[in-house]
Structure 1
Amino acid sequence: MTFKETNNKPKLLDQVRIALRTNHYSRKTEEAYITWIKRYILFHNKRHPNEMGKDEIQ
């Protein structure tokens, strides 16, 4: 699956938000996690985590 494919599944950051809200995390925690995820993706040249190997994710 490539980053640009469209399907019925929510985007990565939307999935994170749903998971955090389901588990009753605070909005500030949600904002912090989303910011870190965005920075991580930008650091890896905008590659989706699904496209990365084991070494890049660890």
Structure 2
Amino acid sequence: MPVLATLCDILGCTPTDLIATLAENLTARRVVGQDAPIDFAARRPTRVRLTED
């Protein structure tokens, strides 16, 4: 942050002039009102089992 503030002072600009951002609207994954079940098992990680060889 101090480096960014110094650059802004030297160049006479704001941080938004130096940092480009891009925001996009994403489409919905489900249609509103659709009763699709959520598979929580697919979202959870599986436990690792370590074995000695």
- The TM-score bracket by the shorter chain reads under 0.3
**RCO higher in structure (CA 8 A, sep ≥6):** 1
Bigger Rg, which one: 2
Task: Give the structure with the higher percent helix.
Answer: 1
TM-score by length of 2: 0.25
